[in-house]
Chains A and B, each alone.
Chain A
Amino acid sequence: MHKNIKIENLSIFSKDKLLVENINLEISTNKPLILLGESGSGKSLVIDALMGVLAKGLKIKGSILLDGVDLLKLSKKQRQKLWGKVITLLPQEPWRSLDPTMKVKDQVKEVRKFVYKDKILQTEQRALKELQEVKLQDFTNSYPHELSGGMCQRLTLAITHTQEGSVLLVDEPTKGLDKELCNSIVKKLNEQVNEGKLLFVITHDLQIAQNIKGTLGVMAKGKLIEYNNTDEIFNNPKNDYTKELIYAEAKYWNIEKTSIQNEKIVEVKNLSKSFGENKLFSNLSLTINKGEIVSIVGKSGSGKSSLGNIILENLHYDSGNIEKNSNYKKIQFQKIYQDPPSAFLPEQILFDGFKDLLNLHNIKEEFLHSYMEEFNLRKDLLQRKPDEISGGELQRLSIIRVLLLKPIFIFADEITSRLDPISQKEVLILVKNIVEKEGLCILLVTHDHEIAQILSHKIINLKNYKL
């Protein structure tokens, strides 16, 4: 087992840009390292450099010492030999890196078979043992598509565990997962630390950062702006960016709830919906008034999005009754999507899309510009394509797009789950303010109970409507 990794004066640069600037980090047994920062801050490059898979054309300076041996001085072949035996990687969104045509058990077995050349019988026993440890013993003969995101995450963890490497690199372990699953992942990662592994996690998830005790580094724009004990940073952040990041967590928000008016917008009575055998919910009743924010919480796949889509008539329901206030037109019932780029036509310049929308409904262009100003968006953003601006900016644009239609009801489907904590706070507070100002109501889907508590008047937990 290796004892420590020291990253000294590490700089990474492309032809014309410094991407990572002079970073010093240390990982040792019982002292894992968590690197926190938004996408584009350079934290993934650090992991790539450690692994030895930096993209072509990038230059690297400094040294990465594994028990005193400089990895950067080794040849490519020597470094590849470390993979799987010394350095193991838990990739982000693991369901994308699993083999979709291979059974769970076989995916674990092949590591022992090909990397360690074990006998086939041994690999079988080992695989079953590892799967038992991550509580997947009932799924040994399943395929990845039959597993949930959390189960895939546990499966990759089992695979990395069979590798017995002393260094475990983890890339965004909670990306795309429910908050409830995050805790179990933190627990699993802490177990690895206790086994004596050198753990290095990069994340933009504050909960992960806070709950894996060790050293915390905060990165922004290629620089390491704060580096200290995890508790020390969380209790006493020094850098402005770090402060902003930490106080972006929902429990620090200081906001008042919106005021409810006495006008019913949507009334749902005894609604039931199932997909085939899978009953999503039954006998669900709910009223939403003007000015009200209602949150739906529940595990992924529990039917949160379905409920909203049923109200918007994008989906049929089995039984029950839905009444909408007939003073409003259908177009005033709108939706904001989880993944902002997927809600805009790809390849279309944003302004062209907006112009078509304005022409279609005879809306004056001034409205668009005044919203842009109000939402703190630069005008030139409109000249770009959806994938060329940040998720936070695009999500604000999609809110504007909906607001232009003078909506009365907005179904907001996990609208911040793909955003970093700071953008998340900005977008949600914006949403809260428009409810107040424009006099509408919102059905908010979230997996963050804290956010639901702070923003909404009513919380619907779909768990309670299961039969």
Chain B
Amino acid sequence: MPKNKNSFYIGLSILIFLTLFSIISRLIFDYQSDQQDLMNTFSTPSFEHLLGTDQYGRDVLIRISQATQLSFVLSLGITLTALIFGVTLGILAAYKGGTTDKFLGVICDILLALPGLLLVLVFLAFSPGDFLPLYLGLSLTLWIEFFKVSRAKTKSLLVEPYVESCKSLGFGFFYILKKLIIPKLLPMIFTISTFAMSTAIIAISSLSAISVGIQPPTAELGSMIVEVLPYYEEEPMLVLLPSFVIFLIVLALQLMSKRRDYA
């Protein structure tokens, strides 16, 4: 399927471009993201400030590159945590069956009944810092999909005669895991990961837009949009740039999810 392959590579190149952008811009310019220059607010793009400055005279380029990096790293961390827990528990539930399976299923149902953002709010109430509640809350909502898919797929694989035959030939569970279950799960997990990561990025931005989670002055795409909203008439670029970056990351992830080179 060459068409899908292409879209995967387009998505990948967008991500690489954004990464390079955020690394290189910080190598060239030696500003802090919260370094104010009140004499120089809303300056137009110049060699000193490639994308101009905002209402406090902070360099927009640096703020965007830092915010991009933050979103990216945080959402990747959240996705990986969700993936590791979801897949491990999913395989465990399918393999053990019985009470383990039921118990994990019930936990899933309980979490599904709560809106994901609410979970973050709950964590905010009793865990300290900006990142930890976001990280915990979002991982806790996102692992469910990994769990459900890997549990269902593993279950259907485990009843195949070749699993029984492997066992009777003396192979242990880890052999079956390595040779059969993981290879079959990988492509699915990859697709879910890209979806989970886009969800995480949008959730982080939405939450900081309503001043939950990451607080100013830390540069974050969502809060950057909201901060400059009052000045939208004069400086529309300041609102549009972070939105465009969010759009690019999510688009890139969605494009990558289409890699279906498995049958």
User: Interface segment, A74-82, A281-289, A345-353?
Assistant: A345-353
Instruction: Let me know if B186 is at the binding interface, CB within 8 A.
Output: no
Please indicate the chain B residues that have their CB under 8 angstroms from the CB of A401 in the complex: 169
Closest to B163 in A: A345
State the Cβ distance, B153 to closest chain A Cβ, in Å: 14
Instruction: Let me know if B96 is at the binding interface, CB within 8 A.
Output: no
State the Cβ distance, B40 to closest chain A Cβ, in Å: 62
Interface of B is mostly: helix
Q: Is the CB of B162 within 8 A of A334?
A: no
Q: Is the CB of A345 within 8 A of B161?
A: no
Instruction: Let me know if A356 is at the binding interface, CB within 8 A.
Output: yes
Q: Is the CB of A342 within 8 A of B169?
A: no
Bound Cα distance A335, B166 (Å): 11
Please indicate the chain B residues that have their CB under 8 angstroms from the CB of A467 in the complex: none
Q: Is the CB of B170 within 8 A of A314?
A: no
Residues facing A in B116-174 (CB within 8 A) are 160-162, 164-166, 168-171
State the Cβ distance, B263 to closest chain A Cβ, in Å: 10
Please indicate the chain A residues that have their CB under 8 angstroms from the CB of B162 in the complex: 342-346
How many residues of chain A have a CB within 8 Å of chain B? 21
Instruction: Let me know if B231 is at the binding interface, CB within 8 A.
Output: no
State the Cβ distance, B185 to closest chain A Cβ, in Å: 13
Please indicate the chain B residues that have their CB under 8 angstroms from the CB of A335 in the complex: 164-165, 168
Instruction: Let me know if A120 is at the binding interface, CB within 8 A.
Output: no
Interface string of A324-366 (1 = CB under 8 A from B): 0000000100110101001111111000000011001100000
Instruction: Let me know if A312 is at the binding interface, CB within 8 A.
Output: yes
Known contacts A348-B179, A356-B175; A342/B170 CB under 8 A: no
Instruction: Let me know if B180 is at the binding interface, CB within 8 A.
Output: yes
Number of residue pairs A-B, CB distance < 8 angstroms: 43
Known contacts A331-B170, A360-B170, A405-B170; A343/B175 CB under 8 A: no
Of the candidates B164, B165, B168, B171, the one whose C-beta lies within 8 Å of that of A360 is B171
Bound Cα distance A84, B101 (Å): 50
Known contacts A339-B161, A356-B175; A345/B180 CB under 8 A: yes
Please indicate the chain A residues that have their CB under 8 angstroms from the CB of B168 in the complex: 312, 314, 331, 334-335
Known contacts A345-B180, A347-B183, A348-B179; A405/B160 CB under 8 A: no
Closest to A398 in B: B165
Closest to B171 in A: A360
Bound Cα distance A331, B168 (Å): 7
Bound Cα distance A360, B175 (Å): 11
Residues facing B in A369-388 (CB within 8 A) are none
Closest to A334 in B: B168
Residues facing B in A105-156 (CB within 8 A) are none
Q: Is the CB of A356 within 8 A of B161?
A: no
Q: Is the CB of A342 within 8 A of B183?
A: no
Bound Cα distance A252, B169 (Å): 35
Please indicate the chain A residues that have their CB under 8 angstroms from the CB of B169 in the complex: 331, 334, 357, 360, 401-402, 405
Q: Is the CB of B161 within 8 A of A342?
A: yes
State the Cβ distance, B32 to closest chain A Cβ, in Å: 53
State the Cβ distance, B114 to closest chain A Cβ, in Å: 35
State the Cβ distance, A331 to closest chain B Cβ, in Å: 5
Bound Cα distance A426, B165 (Å): 23
Bound Cα distance A16, B170 (Å): 45
State the Cβ distance, A300 to closest chain B Cβ, in Å: 17
Q: Is the CB of B179 within 8 A of A337?
A: no
Residues facing A in B177-196 (CB within 8 A) are 179-180, 183
Please indicate the chain B residues that have their CB under 8 angstroms from the CB of A356 in the complex: 171, 175, 179
Q: Which of B162, B180, B183 has the most CB of A within 10 A?
A: B162
Please indicate the chain B residues that have their CB under 8 angstroms from the CB of A346 in the complex: 162
Task: A343-B162, A357-B169 given; name 13 further pairs at CB < 8 Å.
Answer: A331-B169, A335-B168, A337-B165, A342-B160, A342-B161, A345-B180, A347-B183, A348-B179, A356-B171, A357-B170, A360-B169, A360-B170, A402-B169
B residues near A (Cβ < 8 Å) are 160-162, 164-166, 168-171, 175, 179-180, 183
User: 27 A-B pairs, CB-CB below 8 angstroms?
Assistant: A312-B168, A314-B164, A331-B168, A331-B169, A334-B168, A334-B169, A335-B164, A335-B165, A335-B168, A339-B161, A342-B161, A342-B162, A343-B162, A343-B165, A344-B165, A345-B162, A345-B166, A346-B162, A348-B179, A356-B171, A356-B175, A356-B179, A357-B170, A357-B171, A360-B169, A402-B169, A405-B169
A residues near B (Cβ < 8 Å) are 312, 314, 331, 334-335, 337, 339, 342-348, 356-357, 360-361, 401-402, 405
